[in-house]
């Protein structure tokens, strides 16, 4: 598969810093699923390691990721987590992580030499594990099926529901992210298909009421860089969010009953 951005620099960074402790580096998200847009998408990566590493190692990795982003002038940059292999062998929810790097943490890493995001738990990792298992790409190391196992879908459902729980607070400020995440959450709950934001939006636009389909089409156009802004007012966005949350809750209840 052709990747719009060469990630060899990231692979070499982790090979150098982790050496034999490195199990694998896995691409997920929009780039893995063929709908990456350089202005609107981040690069989603999960790194699996055999053992705990020092704080200094992760601080050097953070500095290396910053250099990589700035050399390539990436807009959204990399969102990356490091997890221990024991959690891909025997899944735990929420999943502990050793290290995390993203745009939200970049300035803190740059301004505070002692800063390190790690040693916590993240509900989002369940969704990342599932996406990698079904749609991921190996950048380095062992094959996906040698490292990851299928996890109970209830964890994935909990993860995607957690991802949209604050939608009514965020949708007016970041409509593209929340609208398309709601779509792919409902897509999985209805059809059990692991999808990208683009795929989820395209599916949902065909099944929701017409007034909401227009919201989705606008967000898809913005997500793909075809327009700079969407033309939906706050009222319709909040109405869409309420409708989709009800659909997600209903679909989640049906899935719970099926178990």
- pLDDT confidence of residue 259: 46
Is the link from the previous residue into 94 a cis peptide, with omega within 30 of 0? yes
pLDDT in tens, 73-130: 998 999 999 999 999 999 999 999 999 999 999 999 999 999 999 999 999 999 999 9
For residue 253, give both structure tokens: 């209840």
Instruction: With CA atoms as reference, report the closest residue to 126 among 98, 153, 164.
Output: 153
**Residue reference for tokens 């939608």:** 167
> What angle, 0 to 180 degrees and rounded to 10, lies between the N-to-C axes of helices 8-18 and 55-72?
160
Q: Coil, helix or strand for 27? A: strand
Q: Coil, helix or strand for 172? A: coil
Q: Measured between alpha carbons, how far is 251 from 4 in angstroms, rounded to an integer?
A: 36
Strand-pair category, 43-49 with 22-28? antiparallel
Are 240 and 166 in contact by the 8 Å Cβ rule? The answer is: no
Q: How far is CA 105 from the centre of its chain?
A: 15
- Mean of the per-residue pLDDT values for the chain? 94
Q: Would you give the end-to-end CA distance of the chain in angstroms? A: 36
- pLDDT confidence of residue 253: 67
Kindly list the structural domains of the chain, giving each domain's residue range(s) and its CATH number in brackets, ordered by start: 8-153 (3.30.460), 164-258 (no CATH)
- pLDDT confidence of residue 138: 99
- pLDDT confidence of residue 231: 86
For residue 229, give both structure tokens: 């802004």
* Residue 37 CB partners (closer than 8 Å, separation 6+): 30, 223, 224, 225
For residue 40, give both structure tokens: 């609107």
- pLDDT confidence of residue 228: 87
With the C-alpha atoms ordered 167, 91, 115, 61, is the resulting torsion angle positive or negative?
negative
Bridge partners for 24 per DSSP? 48, 141
Q: Measured between alpha carbons, how far is 248 from 61 in angstroms, rounded to an integer?
A: 38
**Residue reference for tokens 């879908």:** 153
pLDDT in tens, 159-208: 888 888 899 999 999 999 999 999 999 999 999 999 999 999 999 999 99
pTM for this predicted structure? 0.92
> What angle, 0 to 180 degrees and rounded to 10, lies between the N-to-C axes of helices 124-135 and 153-163?
120
pLDDT in tens, 4-14: 799 999 999 99
> What angle, 0 to 180 degrees and rounded to 10, lies between the N-to-C axes of helices 55-72 and 103-111?
110
Are 196 and 180 in contact by the 8 Å Cβ rule? The answer is: no
Looking at the predicted structure, is the pLDDT value of residue 257 above 50? no
- pLDDT confidence of residue 229: 86
């Amino acid at each position: 598969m052709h990747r719009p951005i060469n990630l060899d620099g990231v692979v070499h960074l982790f090979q150098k810093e982790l050496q034999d402790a490195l199990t694998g580096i896995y691409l997920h998200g929009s780039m893995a699923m063929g709908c990456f847009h350089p202005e609107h998408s981040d690069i989603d990566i999960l790194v699996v390691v055999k053992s705990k590493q020092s704080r200094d190692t992760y601080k050097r990795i953070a500095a290396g990721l910053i250099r990589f982003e700035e050399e390539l002038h990436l807009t959204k940059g990399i969102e990356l987590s490091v997890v221990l292999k024991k959690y891909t062998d025997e899944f735990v929810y929420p999943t502990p992580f050793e290290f995390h790097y993203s745009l939200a943490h970049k300035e803190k890493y740059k301004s505070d030499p002692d800063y390190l995001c790690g040693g916590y738990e993240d509900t989002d990792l369940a969704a990342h594990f599932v996406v990698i298992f079904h749609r991921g790409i190996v950048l380095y190391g062992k094959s996906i099926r040698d490292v990851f196992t299928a996890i109970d879908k209830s964890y994935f459902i909990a993860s995607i529901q957690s991802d949209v729980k604050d939608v009514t607070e965020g949708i007016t400020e970041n409509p593209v992210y929340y609208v398309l995440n709601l779509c792919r959450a409902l897509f999985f709950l209805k059809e059990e298909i692991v999808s990208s934001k683009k795929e989820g939006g395209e599916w949902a636009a065909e099944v929701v009421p017409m007034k909401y389909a227009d919201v989705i089409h606008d967000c898809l156009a913005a997500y793909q860089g075809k327009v700079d802004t969407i033309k939906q007012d706050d009222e319709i966005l909040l109405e869409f969010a309420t409708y989709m949350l009800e659909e997600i809750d209903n679909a989640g209840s049906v899935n719970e009953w099926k178990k």
